[in-house]
Structure 1
Amino acid sequence: MTRLAAIAALLTLGAAPRAVDGQEITLLAVGDIEWSRTTRAPSMYYDAPQAGGGILWHRGDGWIRVPYAASPASRSHLEAALDTSLVSADAHYLRAHHYGLEFDDGREEARYPLRRSADLLREADIAFANLETPLSDRARWSGAFRTPSAFAGALAWAGIDIVATANNHALDAEGEGLLDTVDHLRRAGVGHAGTGRDLADARRPYVIERGGIRVAFLAYAQFVNDGGSSFATPSQSGVVPLDPLLIREDIARIRDQVDFVVLSFHWGIENSQDVHPGMRAFAHEVLDAGADVILGHHPHVPRGIEVRGGKPIVYSMGNFIFGHGHDYWMDNIAVRLHIGSEGVTRVDVLPIAGRGDALSQPYLLEGEAARTLLEDIRTRSAEFGTTLRIEANAGVIDIVR
């Protein structure tokens, strides 16, 4: 897989599509990638529940909700007021299990989780992932994740061409970490979409050409972890919000300059395989605005796949690589899109190991484990009218127009 186009893939205004009839390329997409290998306690307490539900108010008169710093005094006060423990055995970050891995150097650590999947990624003409962590060695670590910058080189080594950086963990190392991430990816020759120095910068598409087919990537997030201040504005760095008006504008701006438009959505409820009707309606609206596919992530579990007018909606691929695991996480999927001059012709659904320690080094599932997962995705996809057939250790969706 050549990287020349990826390194030089900044949008050239006015360029016309150059798709060749009969030419076909593959786009492999995987889910969430995080390799900070640790979990951290929250820095603030919000919406502490009362015995009867609701939130804890500063006073008893319905004034306003106030944040509490995660200090010993705040914790003691809230626990006494609520007669509960804020940091219990059920706390999400305390329930994570770690892998006990040790490495001789930073490059070995960075490449380790990609070693069993690199061949799969390199075989694709374009490989995409959601990068759920900042890459920085110096920025203040104020959120859950921060991954050493060497991981950017590991992504390139494994064959990943483009990552979405629009997600709820994009500013876990604050604005400096966001800018470090962009810089390290650029130096490694890995494209990114969904974050930037300001809203205009963050909305820029990343364009890759393979086999005469020009593909544009745009990325958006429904959530950020600080209540909204990590979203990009005209004067602030950050993440592009999942704003349908922005999405429509972005599609319209790039549509006539490329052959294929990919939307990356960080959305949905974590650890749920269900698709809300409102999510479906939203997806239909933006596809009808001119995009060709939606690649979803954030729930940490896989969901069904819908095809609308020949355009796939992958509601969630689940995880791919994570620096820790949970016993309630499950196996995941990757999708391989076959793209021709008329759009997607076929979707391969590939089962990816995600249970136990598998997220530390994922691989393709085979046999009974593969079939169990694929049958679940087939059932969930059928609810959307999508026919998925199982061939050996993969699912196949033929696109009929």
Structure 2
Amino acid sequence: MSSARLKIPLALLAGAWALVPAARSLAGQEITLIAVGDIEWSRTTKAPSMFYDASQRGGSGVLWDREDGWIRVPYAATPESQALLEADLGTTLISENAHHLRAHHYGLSFDNRTEEARHPLRRAADLLRAADIAFANLETPISDDARWSGAFRTPSAFADALAWAGMDVVATANNHALDAEGDGLLDTIHHLSRAGVGHAGTGRDLEDARRPYVLERRGLRIAFLAYAQFVNDGGSSFATPDQSGVAPMDPLLIREDIARVRDQADLVLVSFHWGIENSQDVHPGMRAFAYEVLDAGADAILGHHPHMPRGIEVRDGKPIVYSMGNFIFGHGHDYWMDNIAVRLYMGPDGVARVDVLPLAGRGDDLSQPYVLEGDAARTLLEDIRTRSAELGTTLRIEGDEGVIDIGR
């Protein structure tokens, strides 16, 4: 974090506040928040591991054999075992992480962990640092040695890189939060706290996972809450009163959490990891859910998970960003597209304006995103303008940015 944005601890308030940065001067002035979508920088998925359909029969039986429920090799733990099994079966095995292994991986090499960790943030760091607050969804556990049971695990140096790039707070409530199991979740919290990056959405138990992260800028106190609609293991990664995990997107809990922090913060921003992946459509149920949350007292909703940007809606003067898409990913897919960042102009009365910034996200650009210009920017902005209009919101295009005036 640059010296201009050095963070120092303040008192804990009402048992629900994290360590928060010192207030900037000029109380009551408008502040800006930059929000971006999903960040994952594992650069690889879990080491190759293969399961296969035990109803298949191989020829030689050297590695493959099944009689009366006995499976000679139930799990191919190395590429060599996989190759022998495939030769014996005469077919290609299906990987546990086939979706990610089929992805486009970048041909990158680095001299050290710091260089590797900072690489994806270099072209976007100025954008993040220029805002009073920078926010993202962290789509990976940060750990060096926790058991790697899911798709992603990112080295601890990345927490320091986030701070270096100007990131202030991340949502950790998402479907990959437990990819390195419980130890990885706790490592993530530790490394983010050590680096001075706030987090919301996971914790040692349900109460901890529901805890807001609150920071102060120019006399305004901003509370962040984060929740996930999905986890990857059928539900056991959600936090319980006696188990670490992810804060669930439970409307009863969300209303309670907003009410609990409402009198302690000027603005409450809610992060949702929600919706169907790889789709730009906004489901009517998603809109209805968002309305409930705004009616409960939230000032804005910041959405992610679909890996594609969606339209933006303003309801009763409060913005709903249904999806910003990706920001940084350690691999890409040919069906992914460019993405958006949003810049919120906020004051004591709420959000007055939303700027939409187009971000490069195709192919190798996901390994080092940057703000788009020219035709590429215009194409994406026109798409977001059309999708926002379908939600009843007017977005005008000014140069290489979109603007939604709310006015307060």
TM-score range normalised by the length of the shorter chain? 0.7 to 0.9
User: Deviation of residue 283 (structure 1)?
Assistant: 0.4
Equivalent AA in structure 1 for residue 245 of structure 2: G
User: In 2, distance between residues paired with 1:200 and 1:42?
Assistant: 36
User: Deviation of residue 11 (structure 1)?
Assistant: 4.0
| Structure 1 SS opposite 2:237 | coil
| Structure 2 SS opposite 1:281 | helix
1:25 aligns with 2:63: no
User: In 2, distance between residues paired with 1:144 and 1:361?
Assistant: 21
Instruction: Tell me the residue number matched to 2:406.
Output: 399
User: In 2, distance between residues paired with 1:293 and 1:14?
Assistant: 20
| Candidates 120, 124, 147, aligned match of 1:117 | 124
User: In 2, distance between residues paired with 1:354 and 1:70?
Assistant: 39
Equivalent AA in structure 1 for residue 105 of structure 2: H
User: Deviation of residue 137 (structure 1)?
Assistant: 0.4
| Residues 199-238 of structure 1: pairs in structure 2 closer than 5 A | 199-238=206-245
User: In 1, distance between residues paired with 2:232 and 2:377?
Assistant: 34
User: In 1, distance between residues paired with 2:228 and 2:11?
Assistant: 23
| Residues 248-327 of structure 1: pairs in structure 2 closer than 5 A | 248-327=255-334
| Candidates 190, 193, 197, aligned match of 1:186 | 193
Q: TM-score, normalised by structure 1?
A: 0.87
8 A Cα contact 2:28 2:220, kept in partner = no
Instruction: Tell me the residue number matched to 1:159.
Output: 166
| Candidates 36, 40, 43, aligned match of 1:34 | 40
Instruction: Tell me the residue number matched to 1:64.
Output: none
Task: Provide closer, same or farther for how the CA distance between residues 9 and 240 of structure 1 changes in structure 2, counting only shifts above 3 A.
Answer: farther
| Candidates 3, 6, 16, aligned match of 1:3 | 6
User: Deviation of residue 93 (structure 1)?
Assistant: 1.9
User: In 2, distance between residues paired with 1:174 and 1:13?
Assistant: 27
Task: Provide closer, same or farther for how the CA distance between residues 71 and 10 of structure 1 changes in structure 2, counting only shifts above 3 A.
Answer: farther
Task: Provide closer, same or farther for how the CA distance between residues 286 and 150 of structure 1 changes in structure 2, counting only shifts above 3 A.
Answer: same
- Stretches of structure 2 lacking an aligned partner (at least 5 in a row): 18-22, 53-72
Equivalent AA in structure 2 for residue 71 of structure 1: Y
User: In 1, distance between residues paired with 2:99 and 2:92?
Assistant: 14
Which structure has the larger Rg?
A: 2
User: Deviation of residue 42 (structure 1)?
Assistant: 9.1
8 A Cα contact 2:27 2:218, kept in partner = no
Equivalent AA in structure 2 for residue 280 of structure 1: R
Per-residue CA deviation, residues 276-300 of structure 1 (Å, 9 max, x unaligned), is 0000000001110000000000000
RMSD over aligned CA atoms reads 2.7
User: In 1, distance between residues paired with 2:16 and 2:157?
Assistant: 36
% identical aligned pairs: 80
Q: TM-score, normalised by structure 2?
A: 0.85
Per-residue CA deviation, residues 86-132 of structure 1 (Å, 9 max, x unaligned), is 728x9422320111110000000000000000000000000000000
| Candidates 336, 360, 363, aligned match of 1:353 | 360
Deviates more, 1:92-101 or 1:330-339: 92-101
| Structure 2 SS opposite 1:104 | coil
Task: Provide closer, same or farther for how the CA distance between residues 349 and 141 of structure 1 changes in structure 2, counting only shifts above 3 A.
Answer: same
Per-residue CA deviation, residues 169-219 of structure 1 (Å, 9 max, x unaligned), is 001000000000000000100000000000011111000100000000000
- Stretches of structure 1 lacking an aligned partner (at least 5 in a row): 47-68
Task: Provide closer, same or farther for how the CA distance between residues 342 and 94 of structure 1 changes in structure 2, counting only shifts above 3 A.
Answer: same
